[in-house]
Chain A
Amino acid sequence: MKLTGAQIVCESLLREGVDVAFGLPGGAILPLYGALPQYPQLRHILVRHEQGAAMAADGYARATGRVGVCFATSGPGATNLATGIACAYMDSVPVVIITGQVPRPAIGKDAFQETDITGITLPITKHNYLVMQASEISTAIKEAFHIASTGRPGPVLVDIPKDVLLDEKAEFFYPDSVDLRGYKPTLDGHPSQIQKAAKLIAKAERPLILAGHGVILSRAYEEAMELAEKAQIPVITTLLGISSFPTDHFLNVGMPGMHGMAYASIAINEADLLISLGMRFDDRVTGRISGFAPNAKVIHVDVDPSEISKNVKATVPIVGDLKRVLRAMLPQIQPAVHTEWVQRIEQLRQEHPSMRIRETEKLLPQYVLRTLSEVTEGKAIIVTGVGQHQMWAAQHYGFKEPNSLITSGGLGAMGFEVPAAIGAKVGKPDRPVWSIAGDGGFQMTLCDLATAVENNIGVKYAIINNNFLGMVRQWQDFFYNKEYTATSYTHNPDFVKLAEAYGIPGMRVTDKTQVETSIRWAMETPGPVIVDFMVEPEENVYPMIPSGGSVNELLEEPWQEESSPIGEARGR
Chain B
Amino acid sequence: MAERNHTIVALVEDRPGVLNRVASLFRRRGFNISSLAVGQSEQPKLSRMTFVVQGDEDTVEQVTKQLNKLIDVVKVSELQEEDVVARELALIKVNATPANRSEIFQMVDIFRANIVDVSAHSLIIEVTGEEDKITALYNLLRPFGIKELMRTGRIAMARGMREGRAERAKSSTNGASENDGP
Instruction: Let me know if A306 and B62 touch, CB within 8 A.
Output: yes
B124-182 interface (Cβ within 8 A of A): 172-178, 180-182
Instruction: Let me know if B176 and A305 touch, CB within 8 A.
Output: yes
B5-62 interface (Cβ within 8 A of A): 12-13, 16-17, 20-21, 24-25, 28, 58, 61-62
Quick one: given A118-B17, A306-B66, are A182 and B58 in contact (CB under 8 Å)? Answer: no
A513-539 interface (Cβ within 8 A of B): none
A186 to B174: give the CA distance in the assembly, Å. Answer: 7
Instruction: Let me know if B181 and A185 touch, CB within 8 A.
Output: no
Instruction: Let me know if A305 and B182 touch, CB within 8 A.
Output: no
Instruction: Let me know if B73 and A122 touch, CB within 8 A.
Output: no
Of A190, A297, A305, A309, which contacts B58 at CB under 8 A? A309
B100-116 interface (Cβ within 8 A of A): none
Chain A 160-191, CB-CB to B under 8 Å as 1, else 0, gives 00000000000000000000111111100110
A196 to B175: give the CA distance in the assembly, Å. Answer: 16
Instruction: Let me know if A319 and B74 touch, CB within 8 A.
Output: no
Quick one: given A190-B178, A196-B181, are A183 and B71 in contact (CB under 8 Å)? Answer: yes
Question: Which residues of chain A are within 8 angstroms of B65 by Cβ–Cβ distance?
Answer: 305-306
Smallest distance from the beta carbon of A543 to chain B beta carbons, Å?
31
A107 to B82: give the CA distance in the assembly, Å. Answer: 47
Question: Which residues of chain A are within 8 angstroms of B181 by Cβ–Cβ distance?
Answer: 192-193, 196, 316
A interface residues, tally (CB under 8 Å): 35
Chain A residue at minimal CB-CB distance from B24: A122
Instruction: Let me know if A315 and B182 touch, CB within 8 A.
Output: yes
Q: Is A147 an interface residue (CB 8 A)?
A: yes
Question: Which residues of chain B are within 8 angstroms of A316 by Cβ–Cβ distance?
Answer: 181-182
Q: Is B70 an interface residue (CB 8 A)?
A: yes
Instruction: Let me know if B72 and A182 touch, CB within 8 A.
Output: yes
A180 to B70: give the CA distance in the assembly, Å. Answer: 11
Chain B residue at minimal CB-CB distance from A185: B173
A310 to B181: give the CA distance in the assembly, Å. Answer: 16
Chain A 313-325, CB-CB to B under 8 Å as 1, else 0, gives 0111111100000
Instruction: Let me know if A190 and B21 touch, CB within 8 A.
Output: no
A317 to B61: give the CA distance in the assembly, Å. Answer: 14
Q: Is B69 an interface residue (CB 8 A)?
A: yes
Instruction: Let me know if A309 and B180 touch, CB within 8 A.
Output: yes
B46-99 interface (Cβ within 8 A of A): 58, 61-62, 65-66, 68-75
B interface residues, tally (CB under 8 Å): 32
Question: Which residues of chain A are within 8 angstroms of B68 by Cβ–Cβ distance?
Answer: 305-306
Q: Is A346 an interface residue (CB 8 A)?
A: no
Of B13, B71, B73, B176, which contacts A147 at CB under 8 A? B71
Quick one: given A119-B20, A181-B13, A306-B66, are A317 and B176 in contact (CB under 8 Å)? Answer: yes
Smallest distance from the beta carbon of B48 to chain A beta carbons, Å?
13
Instruction: Let me know if A184 and B180 touch, CB within 8 A.
Output: no
A183 to B173: give the CA distance in the assembly, Å. Answer: 10
Q: Is A358 an interface residue (CB 8 A)?
A: no
Smallest distance from the beta carbon of A491 to chain B beta carbons, Å?
39
Instruction: Let me know if A319 and B174 touch, CB within 8 A.
Output: yes
Q: Is A565 an interface residue (CB 8 A)?
A: no
Instruction: Let me know if B20 and A317 touch, CB within 8 A.
Output: no
Q: Is A123 an interface residue (CB 8 A)?
A: yes
Q: Is A304 an interface residue (CB 8 A)?
A: yes
Smallest distance from the beta carbon of A27 to chain B beta carbons, Å?
24
Smallest distance from the beta carbon of B31 to chain A beta carbons, Å?
12
Question: Which residues of chain A are within 8 angstroms of B75 by Cβ–Cβ distance?
Answer: 182
Instruction: Let me know if A309 and B176 touch, CB within 8 A.
Output: yes
Instruction: Let me know if B182 and A196 touch, CB within 8 A.
Output: yes
Of A118, A181, A186, A314, which contacts B173 at CB under 8 A? A186
Query: Which residues in A have some Cβ–Cβ distance to B below 8 Å?
Result: 118-119, 122-123, 126-127, 130, 147, 180-186, 189-190, 192-193, 196, 200, 297, 304-306, 308-310, 314-320
Q: 9 smallest A-B Cβ distances: which pairs?
A: A306-B65, A182-B74, A186-B173, A127-B71, A193-B177, A190-B177, A181-B74, A183-B71, A186-B174
- Excluding A180-B71, A315-B182, 19 further A-B contacts by CB distance (< 8 Å) are A119-B20, A130-B17, A181-B74, A182-B12, A182-B71, A182-B75, A185-B173, A186-B172, A189-B174, A190-B178, A193-B181, A200-B182, A305-B68, A306-B65, A308-B180, A314-B180, A316-B182, A319-B173, A319-B176
Offer 24 A-B interface pairs, CB within 8 angstroms, sorted by A.
A122-B24, A147-B71, A181-B13, A182-B12, A182-B73, A182-B74, A184-B173, A186-B173, A190-B178, A196-B182, A306-B62, A306-B65, A306-B66, A306-B68, A306-B69, A309-B61, A309-B176, A310-B62, A315-B182, A316-B181, A317-B177, A318-B177, A319-B173, A319-B177
